Homo-oligomer: A and B are copies of this chain.
Amino acid sequence: MNNVIALLKSHRSIRKFLDRAVSQELIESLIESGQCAATSSFIQACTVIQVNDPDTRAKLRDCAADQIYVSEAPVFLVFCADMQRHRLACDMHQSPMLSGYTEQFLTASLDCALFAQNVLIGAESVGLGGCYIGALRNNIAEVDYLLKLPELVYPLFGLCLGYPDQDPEIKPRLPLPVVLKQDSYDDCSDRIFIEEYDRDVRSYYTTRTAGAIDQSWSEQISAMLIKEARPHMLSYLRDKGFLLK
- Listed in ascending order, the chain A residues whose CB lies under 8 Å from chain B are 1-5, 7-11, 13, 28-33, 35-38, 40-44, 46-53, 56, 80, 84-86, 88-90, 92-93, 95-99, 101-104, 106-107, 109-110, 113-114, 116-118, 120-122, 125-126, 131-132, 134, 137, 146-150, 153, 156-157, 170-171, 173-174, 176, 178-187, 190-191, 194-195, 217-231, 233-234, 237, 243, 245
Determine the distance from Cα of A226 to Cα of B89 in the docked complex, in whole angstroms.
Answer: 11
Measured between beta carbons, the chain B residues less than 8 angstroms from A237 are: 102
Number of identical protomers: 2
A132 to B43, CA, bound (A): 14
Asked if A184 and B146 sit within 8 Å, CB to CB, the answer is yes
Could you tell me if A233 and B106 are in contact, using CB atoms closer than 8 angstroms? yes
Q: A36-B173, A42-B217, A84-B187 are in contact. Are A97 and B226 (CB under 8 A)?
A: yes
- A52, B171: Cα distance in complex, Å: 31
Shortest CB distance A77–B (Å) = 9
B220 touches A44 (CB 8 A): no
Chain B residues, CB < 8 A from A11: 36-38
Considering the complex of A and B, which 10 residue pairs feature the smallest CB-CB distances, nearest first? A4-B125, A113-B113, A89-B218, A103-B230, A95-B222, A101-B229, A8-B33, A117-B117, A35-B173, A89-B221
Other contacts beyond A38-B131, A90-B222, A92-B218: 17, CB < 8 A: A3-B4, A8-B36, A8-B37, A11-B38, A13-B38, A38-B132, A41-B134, A41-B224, A48-B181, A56-B184, A90-B226, A92-B222, A97-B225, A98-B226, A103-B233, A146-B184, A234-B243
Q: For the complex, what is the distance from the CA of A157 to the CA of B48, rounded to whole Å?
A: 24
B179 touches A35 (CB 8 A): yes
Contacts of A137 in B (CB 8 A): 103
Known A132-B38, A243-B102; judge A93-B218 contact (CB<8 A): yes
Asked if residues B185 and A96 are in contact (CB atoms below 8 Å), the reply is: no
Compute how far the CA of A23 lies from the CA of B122 in the bound complex, rounded to whole angstroms: 27
